[in-house]
Amino acid sequence: MKFCANCVMPDTRPDLEFDERGYCDACCMAERKFGRGTEPIDWDARRRQFEEIIDRYRSPQATGYDCIIPVSGGKDSTYQVHVAKNEYDLRPLCLCFEPTLRTEIGLKNLENLNRMGVDLIQVRRNPIVYEKLVLECFRRVGDMEWPNHAAIWSLPYRFAVAFDIPLILWGEGRMEYAGNFFTDEKHLREMDEVWATDYGVLNGLRPEDLVDEALGITEADMEMYKFPSPEQLGRVGGNKGVLGIFLGYFFNWDVRQQLAVVEELGWSRRLGRVEVTYSDFENLDCLSMNLHDYVKYCKYGYGRATDDACRDVRHGYIDRDQAIRLAERYDGIYPKEAVELFCDKLKISAEEFDAICDSFTNPAIFEMRDGRFVRDIDRGLVMKRGVVESRRTAGQVAA
Ligand SMILES: [Zn+2]
């Protein structure tokens, strides 16, 4: 297992590539973001590009909506509304798909977003179908958040068709994570069905793959999880078609700077960190995201703490040594509270939950004994010493 020489991201991350210095795509992109590297980004030009787009798509009637903003109540959605409404005087229609395990703080932040003076539609999905999908996707591809992601990506396009609103404003996009080697420029900028299928963590499952008589899931049940047809999308806004763009492509996205802005607008962080990382501002609106991040750790050997530490390294808030310490300390913590709530709601036992996780756990990364994964006294998996060492030394090897 190989790690980036600049941050601490491993090569088990799907699609990650390294340059000759041993830097990962996302670190190379961060250099461009901060005006370094071979093709530094001209943020003034990007902002002008954004302004041209909104001029083209702004509603001709003063009463109409100018764009749809998919929101969760997280810091990103509050920031998206701030940019659209306060900085560009757009009239957004906000759309929230009910999360798997909603938290109180998530709901409070969503109400705060509503009070910024926007119309908000909350979609309460059919819980019977949704819960079947959650369990089925957890068992099949190790991803209980699949139905949530599928709906989050597709639903704004369905509402764009229904309300005849041709512009959708997404948040950060792929600029922060991976980048320039395999993601073409269009998909750093725009979100469409191809993006959702290829990059949108749908794990190769399509909505139609889940239609199943034995499960009791019909084609009609899956309709909400699908994108509208290209013909339907093309007719929106007097044949302009629907354009979904990432704000992170047009504005230099720095989460820690945005926190100051959204907190000023009434958004709150948690008291104390979330279960699976050191930060107190990620994964606040849905407890199930902690489970999603935990299974990611089982599959690939990195979790949300690595994601957070890598972002903080790239933005210059911490050095690589600190990122190693944070990843070692917080990655892979067993999310007890979230597991308990999840098992309670989905009516499975904790043993079954662990057995499903084990079926996706990578034996090349974690210690096994007598055919079973070794767990420490806190129920955490034990990473192989060689993997831990290679994360510690990756930066030195390249230097
Ligand atoms: Zn990196």
What's the pLDDT at 73?
Answer: 86
CA of 134 to the centre of ligand 1 (A): 32
235, 163: one domain: yes
Establish if 342 belongs to a structural domain: yes
Q: Mark which of 197, 215, 250 sits at the end of a domain.
A: 250
Residue 383 CA to ligand 1 centre (angstroms): 20
Residue 79 lies in a domain: yes
Q: Residue 26 Cα, ligand 1 centroid: separation in angstroms?
A: 6
CA 332 and chain centroid, separation: 18
Q: Is residue 92 located within the same domain as residue 191?
A: yes
74: exposed, middle or buried (Cβ count in 10 Å: 0-12, 13-18, 19+): buried
Q: Are residues 223 and 329 in the same domain?
A: no
Residue 117's contacts (CB-CB under 8 Å, 6 or more residues apart) are 85
205 and 73 housed in the same domain: yes
Between the CA of 296 and the centroid of ligand 1 the distance, in Å, is 18
Predicted local confidence at residue 271, as pLDDT = 86
pLDDT grade for 399, boundaries at 50, 70 and 90: very low
In this prediction, residues 61-90 reach a mean pLDDT of 95
* Cα dihedral sign, 204-124-167-284: negative
Are residues 372 and 282 both part of a single domain?
yes
143 CA to middle of ligand 1, Å?
A: 25
Q: What percent of the chain is predicted at pLDDT more than 90?
A: 83
Distance from residue 315's CA to the centre of ligand 1 (Å): 11
pLDDT tens digit sequence for 279-299? 999 888 889 999 999 999 999
CA of 68 to the centre of ligand 1 (A): 33
Q: Is the pLDDT of residue 265 over 80?
A: yes
Structure tokens, 356? 């499903």
User: Six-digit token pair at 52?
Assistant: 């041209």
Q: Ligand 1 center to residue 4 CA distance, Å?
A: 5
Task: Please check whether residue 11 lies inside any domain of the structure.
Answer: no
Q: Does one domain contain both 284 and 375? A: yes
Residue 307 resides in a domain: yes
Question: For the chain, what is the mean pLDDT?
Answer: 93
Give the model's pLDDT for residue 398. 47
The pLDDT assigned to 282 comes to 87
Q: What is the pLDDT of residue 337?
A: 94
CA of 30 to the centre of ligand 1 (A): 9
Domain annotation covers residue 256 = no
Give me ligand 1 centre to Cα 38, in Å: 16
Question: What does the pLDDT look like over 163-221, one tens digit per residue?
Answer: 999 999 999 887 777 655 556 788 889 988 888 887 766 778 999 999 999 999 999 99
Instruction: Identify whether residues 152 and 291 lie together within a single domain.
Output: no
- Choose the final residue of a domain: 219, 250, 281: 250
Distance 310 CA to ligand 1 centre (A): 7
313 lies in the same domain as 210 = no
CATH number, domain of 231, equals 3.40.50
Residue range 138-147, pLDDT digits in tens? 999 999 999 9
- Tell me, in angstroms, the distance from the centre of ligand 1 to residue 199's CA: 18
Q: Which domain holds residue 52?
A: 43-250
Residue 48 has pLDDT above 70, yes or no: yes
Q: Record the pTM.
A: 0.95
Q: Which residues contact 283 (CB under 8 A, 6 or more apart)?
A: 274, 276, 277, 289, 290, 293, 304
CB 312 within 8 A of CB 318: yes
The verdict on residue 138 lying in a domain is: yes
Residue 100 has pLDDT above 90, yes or no: yes
Check whether residue 69 and residue 218 sit in a common domain: yes
Ligand 1: distance of its center to the CA of 277 in Å? 18
* pLDDT for residue 377 is more than 60: yes
Q: Would you say residue 175 lies in a domain?
A: yes
* 157 and 71 inside one domain: yes
Distance 248 CA to ligand 1 centre (A): 18
Domain check: are 163 and 86 in the same one?
A: yes
Say if residue 243 is in the same domain as residue 367. Answer: no
pLDDT of residue 179: 56
**Do the strands 368-369 and 372-373 form a parallel or antiparallel pair, or are they unpaired?**
antiparallel
- pLDDT-derived band at 243, boundaries 50, 70, 90: very high
Query: Total structural domains in the chain?
Result: 2
Q: Is residue 162 part of a domain?
A: yes
Distance 27 CA to ligand 1 centre (A): 4
Q: How far is the CA of 16 from the centre of ligand 1 (A)?
A: 9
